[in-house]
């Protein structure tokens, strides 16, 4: 039987999500990888218990996380039922729908039919009455934004989610959706987008500035660029790395000579800050208070502990920030 550490809230810092009353830990745990049916349940438990013991209250899922799709939610539901149920009111659980989950014309994107069916399936898999945050997972140019937002409103009004979020939106669509959701009195509080030292898309498409203007939170996924912003690839591709064993989201072609040179230069910078490269990369995202939380993944509990240590130093001087930008630009 699992009992959480009594000093768990002394290990973490928390920030309000936009102008809402909800606080997120600066480091959250994503179950995108390593929680599907191909993974070991006991290792999943160790990762989740270590996260919660160190103040990570936020656990992020999606309907299609696995493999197989749905299995991450199912396995998380097992862990909730067997060990974590007594802490439900201390947990912030999110899930999403938008990418392909089942066959046919109703199994993806942003229709009312898909979103409402998906939240019902997700709740059943996890054994929950509600999730804390439900996201639309991607923009859908074929479905009126009013329909997608209306479905999110219905999900909240039916008690199946407390808050809603948008994932993989750009700044222009975020502004449009915000207006609709505010008219519907929907508690939309957060955006989830890819963001890292190597991926500045939310800066380039206006999302980051728009979120700050609208006083909405941001949580960044892939903050370590699928592991590139760690010390894993300093000397090539390890046989047990994600590139070598999976290849779905991170491929050999991603590790170019220029990219490897950038990783090595950034690693030296991290050393000068008394941080690992991963810690510096996470701290860089949190540096300006616009991003509410970084969403880490982990294949073992030790990685959770290493990543949490990033919050001990999230301050950067102008010279450091300029150097990071130069390293990235020079190695594009």
Residue for token pair 């991607």: 138
Topology (CATH) of 11-226+276-315: TIM Barrel (3.20.20)
Is the preceding peptide bond at 3 cis, omega within 30 degrees of 0? no
Residue with token string 């745990």:
29
Over its length of 332 residues, how does the chain's per-residue pLDDT go in tens digits? Answer: 899 999 999 989 999 999 999 999 999 999 999 999 999 999 999 999 999 999 999 999 999 999 999 999 999 999 999 999 999 999 999 999 999 999 999 999 999 999 999 999 999 999 999 999 999 999 999 999 999 999 999 999 999 999 999 999 999 999 999 999 999 999 999 999 999 999 999 999 999 999 999 999 999 999 999 899 999 888 766 655 555 455 555 556 778 889 999 999 999 999 999 999 999 999 999 999 999 999 999 999 999 999 999 999 999 999 999 999 999 999 98
* CB distance 324 to 284 below 8 Å: yes
Distance CA 245, CA 250 (A): 10
Q: Is the pTM higher than 0.85?
A: yes
DSSP 135: E
The first and second tokens of residue 286, run together, are 């949190």
Comparing CA positions, the residue from 181, 86, 90, 82 lying closest to residue 132 is 90
pLDDT score at 242: 58
Residues 6+ apart with CB under 8 A from 133: 92, 93, 94, 95, 161, 162, 163, 164, 165, 189, 190
pLDDT at site 233:
85
Please give the full DSSP string across 213-234, using - where no structure is assigned. Answer: HHT-EEEEESTTGGGTTSGGGT
Distant-in-sequence, close-in-space partners of 279: CB < 8 Å, separation ≥ 6 = 270, 306, 307, 309, 310, 313
């Amino acid at each position: 039987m699992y009992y959480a550490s009594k000093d768990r809230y002394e290990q973490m810092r928390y920030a309000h999500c936009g102008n809402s009353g909800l606080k997120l830990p600066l480091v959250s745990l994503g179950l995108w990888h390593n929680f599907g049916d191909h993974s070991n349940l006991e290792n999943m438990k160790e990762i989740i218990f270590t996260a919660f013991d160190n103040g990570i209250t936020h656990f992020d899922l999606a309907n299609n996380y696995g493999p197989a799709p749905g299995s991450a939610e199912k396995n998380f539901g097992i862990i909730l039922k067997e060990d974590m149920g007594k802490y439900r009111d201390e947990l912030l659980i999110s899930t999403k729908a938008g990418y392909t989950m089942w066959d046919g014309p109703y199994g993806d994107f942003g229709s009312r039919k898909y979103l409402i069916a998906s939240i019902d399936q997700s709740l059943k898999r996890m054994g929950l009455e509600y999730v804390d945050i439900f996201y639309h997972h991607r923009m859908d140019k074929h479905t009126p934004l009013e329909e997608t937002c209306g479905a999110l409103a219905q999900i909240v009004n039916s008690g199946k989610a407390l808050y809603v979020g948008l994932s993989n939106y750009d700044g222009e669509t975020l502004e449009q959706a915000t207006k609709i959701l505010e008219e519907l009195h929907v508690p939309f509080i957060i955006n989830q987008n890819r963001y890292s030292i190597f991926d500045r898309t939310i800066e380039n498409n206006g999302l980051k500035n728009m979120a700050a203007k609208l006083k909405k939170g941001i949580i960044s996924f892939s903050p370590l660029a699928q592991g590139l912003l760690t010390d894993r690839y300093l000397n090539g591709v390890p046989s047990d790395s994600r590139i070598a064993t999976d290849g779905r989201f991170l491929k050999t072609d991603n590790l170019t000579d220029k990219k490897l040179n950038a990783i090595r230069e950034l690693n030296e910078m991290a050393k000068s800050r008394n941080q690992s490269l991963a810690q510096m990369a996470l701290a860089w995202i949190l540096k300006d208070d616009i991003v509410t939380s970084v969403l880490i993944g982990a294949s073992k509990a030790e990685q959770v502990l290493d990543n949490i240590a990033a919050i001990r130093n999230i301050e950067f001087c102008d010279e450091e920030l300029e150097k990071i930008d130069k390293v990235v630009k020079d190695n594009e």
